[in-house]
Structures are given as structure tokens and as C-alpha cells.
Amino acid sequence: RRLMAQWMGRVGFELNILADHVLGEILKGDRVFADETSLPTLAPGTGSAKKAWLWAYARDDTPFGGSGPPMVAYRFEDSRSGDCVRRHLGGYRGILQVDGYAAYNKLARKDGGNDGALLAGCWAHSRRRFYELHTTGASEVATATIEKMTELWALEATVRGQSPEARTAARQTVSAAIVAALFALWERTLPRISGKSKLAEALRYAMTRREIFERFLIDGRIELDSNIVERAIRPQTITRKNSLFAGSDGGGRTWATIATLLQTCKMNNVDPLAWLTLTLERIANQWPSAEINALMPWNYNA
């Protein structure tokens, strides 16, 4: 097992420059999706696992008609603080589409300023809170909310792949009125119910994020949700369940490096094993560093 771990560490070392290049390409995009998931990691000398994290950053321009390839980069950290986000994405000035986690506010653009990222929210995270109440029949407001939100996603299906301008026009025609009706419903409801109820929690979650939730209405590059990065996170949660933990911080970093490249292969419909085999052969044969982009999964040509 130790020998296999050493092999993986060496592979991670050789591929690290490629994984860094992927993140660099992600940050060139108009929009980045971000999410994070826990990764238990053995702590040296303790005999137990500590809580560490895999941060994920994804780019996919196809929903708004972009031609750039989809990709994802993972970063291993022993913290979930906003300092990690700043370290990974510092200087990024595009759209950062996230869930409601406060750490991403570290990069948020200040009102009227140009520095920092423009935060956009994820309607799917809000929907889940209402959906739980809807399925139990516990709240007519939750049911009405789900019905209205379903109309939003129905419109999105019709404009997927269209230009940002076309998407914005359709959203202004259809979605803007739906969103306005939802917030009006929530504002009427919140003062009438117990502040400790689950419905009140769902309402506050949505209402305190109104600005970042409404941004998709005026910018066609923004998605209604951050499902693109959540789909990239899911394979790592399955691997985590099977492996239980990373063996060390170094192992966690190797995990992030290799996962970055193999998941990017999958996003581009490239066989990960075929790509990895050819790429390691090229690296072993002194592939020139100036031509690193040719090694990227989206440029793979068997």
C-alpha cells in the first residue's frame, strides 16, 4: 500500500503543473462556479482523522453559447475559511456563482466598485428548503413557491445555449414577473408566521439573498443555479465514501490534482485512462513546458 501511495504521489507531482493550468484557464472565463465538500484526512501522530476540504471551481460557457471547453479544478485545504477562496481566486473580477456560504463574500465586489467578483446566487439551494415543506404538505406557501420556481426552470430549458442577450430578453419577458411575485409572497408571509419555523428559515434564506438571486435577470451569462459545480463535486463525494479519508495533507493535495484532470476529461467526453496514459508518456519524454496547453484534456487527440 505504501508503494502504491508513493506512485500516486509521484503522478500528482508530475501533473500538478497541469492542474494549475486548468485553474488558470477557469479564471479567464466570464463566470466561475464554486462549491466545497468535506474530506476527512488523517492527522499525523493522532491516529484519527481531521476535517479538511476540497474546494471546487468549475467553468462551463455552453449554457450561454460560449465555445470554451468545460473544466473543473479542485484545491485541498484544511480550512473552510474565506481566506482559502481569496488564495485560490484572488484578483478574479468576473461572475462568481455560489451557494449561500458566507466565505465567498470575501471576494465580493463592493457596491459601485470594479474590484472583486460579482456574486450570483443559486436558486436550487433555496428551492430545496421549500421543497421539503412542499412534499409533506406542511405549507401552502411552500407549494406555491415550488410551482413558481418550476416555471423559472421551464423557461431556462428553452434558452439554454442561446446568447446572453437572448437569455436576458427572455428572462425579462417571463422570469422577472415570476421573481417579483415570489418575493412579494415571501414578504407578506414572513411577518405572519413563527420566526422559528422551517418556513421562516426558508423565507429568510431567500430574502436575505435577493440581490444575488435577481442578478440572473439582467445578465444572460448567469445560470439559475450552480448545478454545474455540484455535478463536479458529486464524484468526489462518492470517492470519499469508498476511500473513507485521505491519508495525509499531501495525499489530499494529490487527490485534488488528479481529480482536477480526470474530471475535466469526463466533462469533455475524453476517456480519463487513455488521456492519463498518453500524458504521462509525453511528460516522461520531456514534453516542452511551453506547450502545456496541448496536454489539456480538451485538446486530447489519441
Residue 302 has pLDDT above 80, yes or no: no
Q: Mapping DSSP to helix (H, G, I), strand (E, B) and coil, where does residue 252 land?
A: helix
What are 104-138's pLDDT values in tens digits?
Answer: 998 988 876 778 899 999 999 999 999 999 999 88
Which bin fits 28, alpha (ψ -120 to 50), beta or left (φ > 0)? alpha
Instruction: Tell me the pairing of strands 49-59 and 31-42.
Output: antiparallel
* Paired strand residues for 34: 57
Considering the entire predicted model, what is its pTM? 0.93
Domain end point (choices 187, 217, 247): 217
Same domain, 169 and 245: no
Domain end point (choices 217, 245, 265): 217
Q: How does residue 163 score in pLDDT terms, banded at 50, 70 and 90? A: very high
Same domain, 91 and 235: yes
231, 248, 194: which is closest to 45 by C-alpha?
A: 248
Q: What is the pLDDT of residue 227?
A: 95
Same domain, 127 and 115: no
In angstroms and rounded to an integer, the radius of gyration of the C-alpha atoms of the chain is 21
What is the spatial distance between Cα 302 and Cα 300, in angstroms, rounded to a whole number? Answer: 6
How confident is the prediction for the chain on average, in pLDDT? 93
Over residues 10-19, the mean pLDDT reads 89
Same domain, 233 and 111: yes
SS (H, E, C) 241-271: HHHCCECCHHHHHHHHHHHHHHHHHHHCCCC
Q: The domain containing residue 156 runs over which residues?
A: 123-217
Q: What is the pLDDT of residue 75?
A: 97
Q: Identify the weakest region by mean pLDDT among 62-71, 102-111, 154-163, 287-296.
A: 102-111
Same domain, 149 and 201: yes
Q: What is the pLDDT of residue 156?
A: 98
Same domain, 25 and 104: yes
Same domain, 237 and 99: yes
Over residues 54-82, the mean pLDDT reads 95
Domain end point (choices 217, 246, 271): 217
Same domain, 199 and 241: no
Same domain, 232 and 248: yes
Same domain, 115 and 232: yes
Same domain, 230 and 115: yes
Residue 7 has pLDDT above 80, yes or no: no
User: What domain count does the chain have?
Assistant: 2
Residues 6 or more apart in contact with residue 274 via CB below 8 angstroms: 300, 302
Same domain, 211 and 83: no
Q: Cell 448567469 belongs to which residue?
A: 222
